[in-house]
Structure 1
Amino acid sequence: MASTDLVDLARDTDTTFILALFVDLRGKPCAKLVPIEAVEQLATEGVGFAGYAVGAIGQEPKDPDLMAMPDPASFTPVPFVKEGLALVHCDPHVLGAPWPYAPRNILKSLVARATAAGYEPWVGAEVEYFLLTRDPDGTLATADSADTAARPCYDARGVTRMYDHLTTISSAMNQLGWSNYANDHEDGNGQFEQNFQFADALTTADRVITLRYLLSMIAAERGMIATFMPKPFGDRTGSGLHLHLSLTAGGAALFPGDAASDGHGLGLSPVAYSFVAGILEHACALQAVIAPTVNSYKRTGALTTASGASWAPRQPTYGGNDRTHYIRVPDDQRIELRGGDGSANPYLAIAAALGAGLDGITRQLDPGPIGAVADGGRPLPPTLLHAVDELAADDVVAGVLDAVGEGVAAYFGDLKREEFFAYHGTVSPWEVEQYLTAF
């Protein structure tokens, strides 16, 4: 779209203010609030940010401004948050060039790579989250105090008690044209999921960021905290960000095959099996991107939860309609990558998954027997530190992060090592309980 389209979109929707938004490598949403009177300047020049102040975006205090250039195709009115408010996703540039450390730029580069190879990537995302409150002493509590069932998943009463919140979000998604098709209580007390239709890779990543913003703001208006933290409670199921991935070429689906002759019996094509094999081969490095926090490994490391299952993979395996696998194949149209969690940056997660899958296609890899553990039988990394070491040793996944410019993968790895050692240097209540009088 031409830059003038943003001006027309804003005026046609009675917008009075626009959030010009992008995220850093950690997924933090950053924005400036631009009045409608300055929309033409936003459309043509972008809006400037001191990059070092943004956070994890690869800048020092001495560096030139990041200029956030709006993508009119992502323009999203959000009057259900504030009347007259809209947001637009932006691509950070520095000195006129796309900034290599900007996650949206990285995903756009991977989509371009896929397109050049003849593939159109499509992605669906399942956003899981908890609705909580914080007691005066700082303790987290389930926002719905009656949500105490031992097996709360799909509980009709739990959904109904949160009717106002869930229907507000559902109506917002449908008003935006996302086609919300289900809203449910998930496996943990206070945990929910609200689904929307799949779209092209970039649009889905934008929508995940937008939905997190909507959930956070609308929950806050009701005195609640919407958290995407992977594992806020040790005894409850963690929150995933499951990605449903598929490829087309010229609009024709590439994943369906012949179940009678494919050798694995899941009805997928050779292209689809190679895509699966690529993700499995790079799974350990991929975890550093799709499960990028210390807390992530409390989710994938859980043996069970109060409800009886963790619903998180521990090994890089694939199978049919079986939720215990790293890659689930629910039908012949798509695969579901289940290793990611709520802390994942959707731009980086989708880009890394695509990069791994495309590598499998290029090398014509085979995923092996259903249920077999990939990569010599190694389990998924037990901690963030292990995952970051895997990332550093994997040229394919690291190459995804470096898709726009060199140094991003190393920078990301350093950030995550610092995060791990900051956590490791903190004395926890568990340590006090175990060791205070043990010797």
Structure 2
Amino acid sequence: MAIDTSEAIAVNSVPASTSPTLTELAQASGTTFILALFVTLSGKPCAKLVPVEAVEQLQNDGVGFAGYAAGYMGQEPKDSDLVAVPDVSSFTPIPFIRPGLALVHCDPHVDGVPWPYAPRVILREQLRRAADLGLTVNVGAEIEYFLVNRVDGELVTADRADTSRQPCYDARDVTRMYDHLTEVSGAMNALGWGNYANDHEDGNGQFEQNFDYADAMCTADRVITARYLLSVIAEKRGMQATFMPKPFTDRTGSGMHLHLSLWNDGGSAFPDSADFKGLGLSGTAYSFIAGILEHACALQGLIAPTVNSYKRTGATATTSGATWSPRYATYGGNDRTHYLRVPDSNRVELRGGDGSANPYLAAAGAIAAGLDGIRRNLDPGAPGSGDRRSDMLPMTLLHAMDALEADPVLTAALDVAGPGVAEYFAKTKREEFFSWHNTVSAWEIDHYLTAF
């Protein structure tokens, strides 16, 4: 399906030398309705549909939400409204979803103050901490997902012909999903994201569509936008896009790998041709790596934040023969078995996260861990040796929450805009774990019904 990008590109008619208002951006792009969007701590996208006639009110006053009704936002029914204040720089026309539609990412406020439980607020404050050290953070994200249907209560691959034992990169599987993949690619490129590859991943029905890296906040916004676009575009063709980490027991899970790099006034802070460890990295880069490894077990609570996440990282085998998910906090060169992979001297790839991760919290946690390594001048040891930390990553969400609450750096990363967020997050995740644990599963029926 061809995408008409004329409306999406029209926003560029606003002179680059100015800082356009939301009203000007809406008028320039032919927008008639705006989704004023924020996400909860669990990553749920919440929005109100605002007509363009009310765009000035949206920009000046924001739009109100009952925070408790939205989900995990640290509120009770008695609390003041969350007011979503738009970040004008994130304005995104999406006429390929509906003619005249756009979205803008928002920072929730309560009583005129940024709300500490808002993921975007948490990441913004963490980026300020990096700026205090003279650093900016760029992030690239790999979004993996499955295209599925539910038939008679059973989850099945949307493409019923996608059945081979090793489907990764299969040209035939990609071609059968051509219309879906190219529509998503066209949407990403119309938005200026720089989609550069679309492929079939390791599990039957699993795909990945890549776009260029950007600053950490921009990339987190794009992850949320991409999940929305993928879901809506899949639904148009009678499919469901799922970012669930492990929807199938026998298949590879879906990761959300983050490619992290630090920059200063001199450019990238990572490369150093004199590196004696052999990866072409600077001391700053190695300390950043060491910090992430030091806090890896706690970090998993943010980048793998669901019960299902640990079905992915705990998997021992899949139909294809590999799980592609790390079980230990190690680092190395261009080796996908490590928690931190160093594909080149400009970035490190954090491979422990999955499709359920809230991108704002994931980035904030990784940045906080890495910056702690820089402040303390930590050394990760030799690449591939596991000298610094060879502990196994948490086996369950409960273990991850224990590690998170015991880690002062990661709890401070959540509490960076106000106290109580880390405690609230861990509490809700423990409740999630025990809700699952208290539910009798088909596995238990199969194993115990007639066993005694």
TM-score between the two structures when normalised by the length of structure 1: 0.98
Specify every segment of 5 or more residues in structure 1 that has no aligned partner in the other structure, as ranges.
none
1:428 aligns to 2:444 (yes or no): no
Q: Distance in 1 between matches of 2:74 and 2:282?
A: 40
Q: Counterpart of 1:183?
A: 198
Q: Which of residues 108, 127, 132 is equivalent to 2:124?
A: 108
Q: Counterpart of 2:9?
A: none
Q: Which of residues 233, 245, 256 is equivalent to 1:230?
A: 245
1:373-430 deviations in Å (ceiling 9; x for gaps)? 3665310000000000000000001110001000000000000000000000011111
Q: Which of residues 242, 256, 263 is equivalent to 1:248?
A: 263
Q: Which of residues 137, 140, 159 is equivalent to 2:155?
A: 140
Are the aligned partners of 2:330 and 2:390 in contact in 1 as well (CA < 8 Å)?
Answer: no
Q: Distance in 2 between matches of 1:199 and 1:352?
A: 18
Q: Counterpart of 1:268?
A: 281
Q: Which of residues 333, 336, 340 is equivalent to 1:323?
A: 336
Are the aligned partners of 2:340 and 2:351 in contact in 1 as well (CA < 8 Å)?
Answer: yes
Q: Which of residues 382, 386, 391 is equivalent to 1:373?
A: 386
1:61 aligns to 2:77 (yes or no): yes
Q: Distance in 1 between matches of 2:390 and 2:90?
A: 42
Q: Distance in 2 between matches of 1:8 and 1:126?
A: 32
Are the aligned partners of 1:230 and 1:341 in contact in 2 as well (CA < 8 Å)?
Answer: yes
Q: Distance in 2 between matches of 1:299 and 1:171?
A: 31
Q: Counterpart of 2:421?
A: 408
TM-fit CA distance, 1:250: 1.6
Are the aligned partners of 1:316 and 1:374 in contact in 2 as well (CA < 8 Å)?
Answer: no
Q: Which of residues 9, 22, 33 is equivalent to 2:38?
A: 22
Q: Which of residues 155, 165, 185 is equivalent to 2:180?
A: 165
TM-score between the two structures when normalised by the length of structure 2: 0.95
Q: SS in structure 2 opposite 1:58?
A: coil
TM-fit CA distance, 1:262: 2.6
Moved more, 208-217 or 246-255: 246-255
Matches within 5 A, 1:86-101: 86-101=102-117
Q: Counterpart of 2:93?
A: 77
Q: Distance in 1 between matches of 2:390 and 2:141?
A: 28
Are the aligned partners of 1:281 and 1:374 in contact in 2 as well (CA < 8 Å)?
Answer: no
1:39 aligns to 2:55 (yes or no): yes
Q: Which contiguous aligned blocks of 4+ residues in structure 1 show a shift greater than 4 angstroms?
A: 1-4
TM-fit CA distance, 1:217: 0.5
Q: Distance in 2 between matches of 1:36 and 1:378?
A: 53
Q: Distance in 1 between matches of 2:70 and 2:380?
A: 41
1:337-377 deviations in Å (ceiling 9; x for gaps)? 00000000000000000000000000000001222336653
1:396 aligns to 2:412 (yes or no): no
Matches within 5 A, 1:272-291: 272-291=285-304
Specify every segment of 5 or more residues in structure 2 that has no aligned partner in the other structure, as ranges.
1-16
Moved more, 210-219 or 368-377: 368-377
Q: Distance in 1 between matches of 2:387 and 2:134?
A: 27
Q: Counterpart of 2:10?
A: none
Q: Distance in 2 between matches of 1:178 and 1:4?
A: 20
User: Structure 2 vs 1, CA of residues 332 and 29 (structure 1 numbering), >3 Å: closer, same or farther?
Assistant: same
Q: SS in structure 2 opposite 1:91?
A: strand
Are the aligned partners of 1:3 and 1:44 in contact in 2 as well (CA < 8 Å)?
Answer: no
The CA RMSD over aligned residues, in Å, is 1.2
Q: SS in structure 2 opposite 1:52?
A: helix
Q: SS in structure 2 opposite 1:329?
A: strand
Q: SS in structure 2 opposite 1:330?
A: strand
User: Structure 2 vs 1, CA of residues 18 and 383 (structure 1 numbering), >3 Å: closer, same or farther?
Assistant: same
Q: Percent identity among equivalent residues?
A: 69
Q: Distance in 1 between matches of 2:388 and 2:24?
A: 52
Matches within 5 A, 1:119-130: 119-130=135-146
Moved more, 107-116 or 261-270: 261-270
Q: Distance in 1 between matches of 2:187 and 2:55?
A: 24
Q: Counterpart of 2:358?
A: 345
Q: Counterpart of 2:5?
A: none
TM-fit CA distance, 1:116: 1.4
1:175-204 deviations in Å (ceiling 9; x for gaps)? 000000000000000000000000000000
Are the aligned partners of 1:280 and 1:374 in contact in 2 as well (CA < 8 Å)?
Answer: no
Q: Distance in 1 between matches of 2:277 and 2:388?
A: 18
Q: Distance in 2 between matches of 1:221 and 1:142?
A: 16
Q: Distance in 2 between matches of 1:231 and 1:379?
A: 20
2:427 alignment partner AA: D
Are the aligned partners of 1:3 and 1:72 in contact in 2 as well (CA < 8 Å)?
Answer: no
User: Structure 2 vs 1, CA of residues 107 and 374 (structure 1 numbering), >3 Å: closer, same or farther?
Assistant: farther
